[in-house]
Amino acid sequence: MAAQVPPDLTHAEVTQGDIAVATALAGGVRLDHMPSRLLALSGAVLLSFLVVSAESLHAQSDVVAVTDAMLQSPEADDWLMWRRTLDGWGYSPLDQIDRSNVADLKMVWSRGIADGSNQGTPLVYDGVMYMPNPSDRIQAIDAVTGDLRWEYQRTLPDDLTDRLGRALSQINRNIAIFGDTIIDTSGDTHVFALDIATGTLRWETEILDYRTHPAHQSSGPIIADGKIISGRGCMPEAGPDACVITAHDARTGEELWRRRTIPRPGEPGDETWGDVPDEERRHVGAWMVPSYDPELGLIYIGTSVTSPAPKFWIGGVENTHLYHNSTLALDVNTGEIVWHYQHLNDHWDLDHPFERLLVDTVVAPAPDAVEWINPRLQPGERRRVVTGIPGKTGVVYTLDRETGEFLWAKPTVSQNVIASIDGATGAVAVNSEVVFTAAGQEVMTCPVWQGGKDWEAGAYSPETNLMYMPLRHTCGRVMASDNGTWYDLTVRTEITPGEAMLGTIQAISAETGETVWTHSQEAFTMSLVATGGGLVFGGDSNGRFKALDHETGEILWEINIGSPVTGFPVTYAVDGRQYVAVSTGYSLNTSALARLNPHHRPSRGNTLFVFALPEG
């Protein structure tokens, strides 16, 4: 609807696009939300907004549409998706900021973002930053100055938090870009596209009805071959039909396929649930962001645990309940499962949905550093692998990404839930001493449901062939409690006995599995990014943001930005100048683990910070 204007301006057509740009110029105050007495601007003032609006729209209309080819090989200056590239590396080749000058890094601008649990990843394209805020607010920001260009706020149903809870309905980790649109999945389980120039809604498609099949969209999509690929976490009461991975046409929003993560009766894997009726198979979500190999045409995505977690309540501990805690390789065109690998038959809420790193590397695991090795591996053979730490156990798994063949695995933090992995088959045997068989049983497990590792992403650098992983040392007393919660568990978390500090970063060779360096600290570490300047940037739960030497782990620069560094860091360049951006806020983990370091007293402010070297 066109905005109301004073009578002397009725000859000018004020569109929603005009409002969006004028809103940005007015400091984010939407003109169509102003009281009428304020809206009655003088003709000259409003026309000046419209003139600048037209200039802004013309400038952005010159932006080249983002294609699949660009997403598969992005320009170094841009950050076009969650981890910058479809292989999930979290790596940028930019090297203006390097080990020799990072100590000179200064903040160049900051901006407050919306309230709520913030874990956002900014995208940057052609000098404009697109920032997902909590509760489905998206902002376009000048990436050099921090000035707002437009803002979109989705109207969410009043009863959404009743279905999903407040935190899960707020989290918006990432968005996508394709053509001339910004694409996201919403708290009320739609996929939608915004005009890149104005922020106006182009189209939207319902994926699930949140009232009957509640599912949380804490992570957004990637674009693979023109398809919007998205997963979600499915609430226990939603049943198995909410536990789906979907593909939509990135141009129109039309649904192309959907894949359940719980087998239907009669499908392969159905037998792994025993006698559990289909409607009682619950909560195997895919709530983190997938990776994609364009050559193989395969999507790689991880899945979560069941509800409840102890398996004696859902058909028996001998059942494996596919496809929980698995890596799924899906055909991008059909959604068919080409192969799967189950990392753990879980009883303790140790999810495995985290980032999958797609790396081409020599595979030569060192026997003195790697606990479980495939005996068929030939020394020095080169493989296309999917690797990383996919789950809360903190175990590195390396698989052949074409076939799913197990290659090697090793723990990185103390764990007692996996007894062994058969190197020849990859079959994981759990430690029977910590498997629940009845309500009221209590065991000591390492780690517990905060991980090990959690959603905070690691990074990989092709320069070192190292993966850099933010980890934590946790153990706890865990009881199987028929308490009506999602997992029917009661957990008392503590720092792992024998460890003095909660947080760690480990640099692990993708070739040999050896841990090249370890950084330890009191606060738990959060998401990382690696750069061509020989640096690894990352933050922690106590508000410190730092740069480490990618070869040694030495801290080369550090700043206190006040609140837990919950956002995913990125780096980009505009007009030859490199920037580093990250945001702060709070998360379920920063709240739950705060008591382990009670002397840490960070604030809880949601702020976006951008750093660069001094000019000149």
Nearest Cα residue to 608 out of 539, 548, 556, 547 = 539
Q: What stretches of 240-381 adopt beta strand conformation (E)?
A: 244-249, 255-260, 291-293, 298-302, 326-331, 337-342, 357-362, 372-373
Amino acid at 332: V
Domain locations along the chain? 7-61, 68-612
CATH class of 68-612: mainly beta
pLDDT digits (tens, 9 = 90+) for 307-364: 999 999 999 999 999 999 999 999 999 999 999 999 999 999 999 999 999 999 999 9
pLDDT digits (tens, 9 = 90+) for 390-426: 999 999 999 999 999 999 999 999 999 999 999 999 9
> CB-based contacts of 495: which residues, under 8 Å, 6+ apart?
473, 474, 475, 501, 502, 596
Would you say 281 and 262 are in contact if contact means Cβ atoms under 8 Å apart? yes
Position 232 pLDDT exceeds 60 = yes
Position 73 pLDDT exceeds 50 = yes
Position 42 pLDDT exceeds 60 = no
**pLDDT band with cut points at 50, 70 and 90 for residue 379:** confident
In Å, the largest CA–CA distance within the chain is 82
**pLDDT band with cut points at 50, 70 and 90 for residue 61:** low
pLDDT at 51: 38
**pLDDT band with cut points at 50, 70 and 90 for residue 57:** very low
Average pLDDT over residues 140-148: 98
Chain mean pLDDT for the chain = 91
Share of the chain above pLDDT 70, in %: 90
pLDDT at 616: 79
pLDDT digits (tens, 9 = 90+) for 417-474: 999 999 999 999 999 999 999 999 999 999 999 999 999 999 999 999 999 999 999 9
**pLDDT band with cut points at 50, 70 and 90 for residue 166:** confident
pLDDT digits (tens, 9 = 90+) for 237-270: 999 999 999 999 999 999 999 999 999 999 999 9
Average pLDDT over residues 497-523: 98
